Amino acid sequence: MNPEQRAEVLFRDRMAQQYEELVGQRGAYWWYAVREFLLHRMGLHAGGWLYDAGCGVGLYALRIAERFPRVRVLAVDFSAESLRRLCEEARHRGVAERIQAVCADITQWSPPQPVRWVLCTEVLQHLPTAELRQQALQRFAESLLPEGELWLVVARHTRDDRRRGVPKEIDERAAGGYFRMRFTVAEVRQLVRRSGLQLIWIGGAPVPSARYGQRLPRQLWRLAHWIQRLPGSAHIGRVLIVRARRC
């Protein structure tokens, strides 16, 4: 384990039991605008291996295993407690045979065989150095089959953040918390380009903060999906969604 990440491993282990409840506070609209958009666009019906990098307690891995029986998921995380909860829930839902859990550091681990998809949602923003973030992208690129796709979800540093003086990086590891950052579109483009992947598309999910997002009705997801397809959507909302391909 990289020394830079030890504090976060301890934090994630402590929070595993509460994590699903915490992110659930975002509201149904958030999950339809982000997770359902991804699952609709990734072409998972075709089947194959998917590497869920930094899977946590399985908010994506479990959903994918339930909805796409032809997909096999490599669920990788450095939090053993998060993986324990994921496996427990997978057995409860009857999809344990479709998920292979691996306790590993995504900046150092690669799957034993190339995969059709790499999915990394809200994880890159918690890697505390530029070197680790680029290292993770390089590992993802090497993990893909030819024509395989990487799908990333990261927090965006918005114009409103800059206006209010919200820093791009917040490091609370010394106080028992975790590191987090927000990306600009240019930074994401550069990360993908340096990894050797071909950037296919980058868009934005029109989601507000959790405080307001939980009040939005789920039915608005159709409007959100339409907005996300617009050329300038990367400059809308607080979340960036990235699609890249190994040539």
Confidence (pLDDT) at 238: 84
Residue whose pair of structure tokens reads 């998917």 in the numeric block? 50
> CA-CA distance, 94 to 89, in Å (whole number)?
9
Homologous superfamily of domain range 3-245: Vaccinia Virus protein VP39 (3.40.50.150)
Cβ-Cβ contacts under 8 Å for 209 (sequence gap 6 or more)? 238
Confidence (pLDDT) at 64: 97
Q: Which residues of the chain have pLDDT under 50?
A: none
Confidence (pLDDT) at 56: 92
Q: Kindly provide the b/e burial profile for residues 40-64, where b requires at least 16 CB atoms within 10 angstroms of the residue's own CB.
A: ebbebeeeebbbbbbbbbbbbbbbb
Confidence (pLDDT) at 220: 65
Confidence (pLDDT) at 53: 98
